A and B are shown apart, each in its own frame.
Chain A
Amino acid sequence: MTSDFLLALAQAITKGLLTGMVYGLMALGLSVIFGVMRVVNFAHGEMMVVGMYLAWMGFDYLNLSPVLSLPLIAALFFAAGYVLQRGLISPFIGRPEHQQFLLLLAVAILLVNGCLAIAGPDSRGVQMESQFDSYELGPLVFDAVRLHAALIAVAIAVLLWLFFTRTRTGKSIRAAADNHMGALVVGLDVRRLYAFTFGVGAACVGAAGALMITIIPVTPFLAAEYTLLAFVIVIVGGLGSMTGALLGGLLIGVSEAVAGLLVQPSLKSMVSFGLLILVLLLRPQGLFGKSNP
């Protein structure tokens, strides 16, 4: 009885960790954008859903596995994010929060209803043979698609880390985030760096969408839920912190999976929101963030 329960718990935690990596990648995009230009992307879940739809279309029309379409989607999202930042968001940097909120809300409405108009309200998923595969490690069973998605998410996070620590552009972006005026003084093209950052954040969430579609089917109505989920993750992890977003993703993934096991599945997001309230009040810089939010 107890060993059965422990096994189920271990299984739920495993599943939560794997899904949590994909959540983490999604939240990473939000965190990078906020960390650098102090803009909260209220259209983040909507962008995630667009990524899921694109991967579904690639699979359905071109017979392209989401894992293969992922680089294409990420590249497309990078370009779209770059243009979006240059054209729409740039003038709103430093403006009052409610104006940024309204701007991105309008973008969110356009994206999610664009999906609705093109793909309809039915849920769309991909059917792949690997969805029935699994790996076993002792008594634990890993879904193949979940494990692949988690590994790819980790790989992308590592690439991103290399980008921000090893490349000139990445370092410049961090410099602009740390000291906007200083970056201008030493002659960095901050506007271009901001557009680049938004592109990188968008590419993260697009890639996360391509991975997520292998785990669950997509509907337009998931968008708002993902936006909230991404907020919860980055706040719990620490807004603006990259490792915080990833660890926050893991934490929320696990807490959702465990709550689904211990209490009713419909109560699972109550745990996440409860966690969000506690973190906001007791440690607003996030569990893994630096001391000054």
Chain B
Amino acid sequence: MTGLVRRLVGAAAPRTVWSLGVLLVLLLAAPAVLGKYWLSVLILVLYFAYVGQAWNILMGFAGQLSLGHALYAGLGGYIAAGLFFHYGIGPWAGLFAAVASAALAGAIVGYLGFRFSLAGVYFALLTIAFSEFTRIAFDHWPWAGGSGGLFLKVEAGTDIANLRGGAVLFYYVILALAVGAFLLCRALLESRLGRYWLAIREDAEAAQAVGVPVLRCKMIAIVISAGLTALAGVWNAFYYNNLFPETAFAMGRSIEITLAPIIGGLGTLFGPIVGAVVLTGLGEAFTDLGDALGIPGIKQIFYGFALLVIVMYRPAGVWPWLAAKLGFSERQS
């Protein structure tokens, strides 16, 4: 037991470990204290932290910009929801199919993109193209409900086996996912693979020259990232009980996934979490303000201004700056 704890903690400073422990206890106790509204806000924060962590593996660690992650979330959600809807296969079994198909999709996009050495904007556009292509395909696929959408029956009571229940159930599931993704990312970053990724991110040609298997490392990054994103999609589908191609595979959904890690601090472990807190907080505050003002689009205008200010004054993200202020240091990676 202590061995396991020591491995998880690794070289982290005791102060960091204690702070995180307190935070985890608070998060575990949160549903008992928080009302319905604040719980739903916290759920959003955890969702964006989780999915941001998944995206960060590909972009923050391995340096490959994907603007099409909605593809993996959408596929995961649709496959798990479709299996449940058509054949009564519960999401705990369905998620294997969901993750497998998203990982396969990631492998295809990655193989094509990396094999033909597309980088930067070109790779990003390839990911967008695949996501949009899939969106239109799902629009015309009757099994998935077409453009009319796929709806899961809302049932009273809690049925953990089929992931049916209220907000508290989904809160603990997404909390577990977020904590798990955090630990996984930490372990990955400390591993040889993680070092290879950082080398590729900084200079792919130099990495190749010193013998880093660049193509294989990039492939592993996109497959892990896509698989984890698919889990978020499954969670999303069962939490909201509906899926539409126009939203599940939308460009906007892909962009949403990228924001928390970019705002928080790309390539850092806490970046996606801090970014999710900042963005969800701003989003909620601006929603209230927008409702009060009653002008259409005003919420997004505030949001746009906030993004502009953050990217202009903290282009490397909020967390590296905040960490320095608070005296936490994350090893620069």
Assess the A280–B300 pair: CB atoms within 8 A. Answer: no
Contact A113 B307 (CB under 8 A): no
Q: Interface of B with A (CB < 8 Å)? A: 59, 65, 67, 112, 116, 118, 120-122, 124-126, 128-130, 132-133, 136-137, 139-140, 147, 251-252, 255, 258-259, 262-263, 266, 295-298, 300-301, 303-305, 307-308, 311-312, 315
Asked whether A273 and B266 contact (CB < 8 A) given A97-B65, A114-B297, the answer is: no
Shortest Cβ distance from residue B26 to the other chain A in the assembled complex, whole angstroms: 30
Q: Compute how far the CA of A95 lies from the CA of B120 in the bound complex, rounded to whole angstroms.
A: 12
- Could you say which of A102, A108, A117 contacts B298, with CB atoms under 8 Å apart? A117
| Distance A115 CA – B296 CA, assembled complex (angstroms) | 10
Name the residue of chain A whose CB is nearest to the CB of B263. A102
Question: Is A105 interfacial (CB 8 A cutoff)?
Answer: yes
Q: How far is the CA of A88 from the CA of B308 in the complex (A)?
A: 9
17 further A-B pairs in the complex, CB-CB below 8 A; given A40-B121, A109-B307, A273-B133: A91-B312, A99-B262, A101-B67, A102-B262, A103-B312, A106-B304, A106-B311, A109-B303, A110-B308, A112-B300, A113-B298, A116-B296, A117-B301, A121-B296, A235-B122, A266-B147, A280-B118
A216 within 8 A of B: no
Q: How far is the CB of A233 from chain B (nearest CB, A)?
A: 12
Q: Contacts A95-B315, A102-B307, A228-B128 hold; do A267 and B297 have CB atoms under 8 A apart?
A: no
What's the dominant secondary structure at chain B's contact region? helix
Q: How far is the CA of A224 from the CA of B303 in the complex (A)?
A: 17
* Residues B307 and A105 in contact, CB atoms below 8 Å apart: yes
Q: In the complex, are the beta carbons of B311 and A102 less than 8 A apart?
A: yes
Looking at A109, A117, A220, which has the most chain B CB atoms within 10 Å of its CB?
A: A109
Q: Is A266 within 8 A of B136, CB to CB?
A: yes
Q: For the complex, what is the distance from the CA of A228 to the CA of B258, rounded to whole Å?
A: 18
B305 to chain A, nearest CB (A): 7
Bound complex: CA of A276 vs CA of B126, how far in Å?
A: 8
Cα(A114)–Cα(B112), bound, Å = 39
Residues on B with C-beta less than 8 A from A108 are: 304
Answer whether A269 and B132 are a contact pair too, CB < 8 Å, given A103-B311, A110-B308: yes
Query: A231 and B125: CB pair below 8 A?
Result: yes
Known: A273-B132, A276-B129. A266 touches B308 (CB 8 A): no
With A98-B258, A99-B315: A224-B301 Cβ-Cβ less than 8 Å: no
Residues of B within 8 A of A293 (CB): 122
Pick the contact of B251: A88, A99, A114, A228 (CB < 8 A): A228
In chain A between 198 and 229, which residues have their CB closer than 8 angstroms to a CB of chain B? 220, 224, 228
- Given A97-B65, A117-B297; A110-B312 close (CB under 8 Å): no
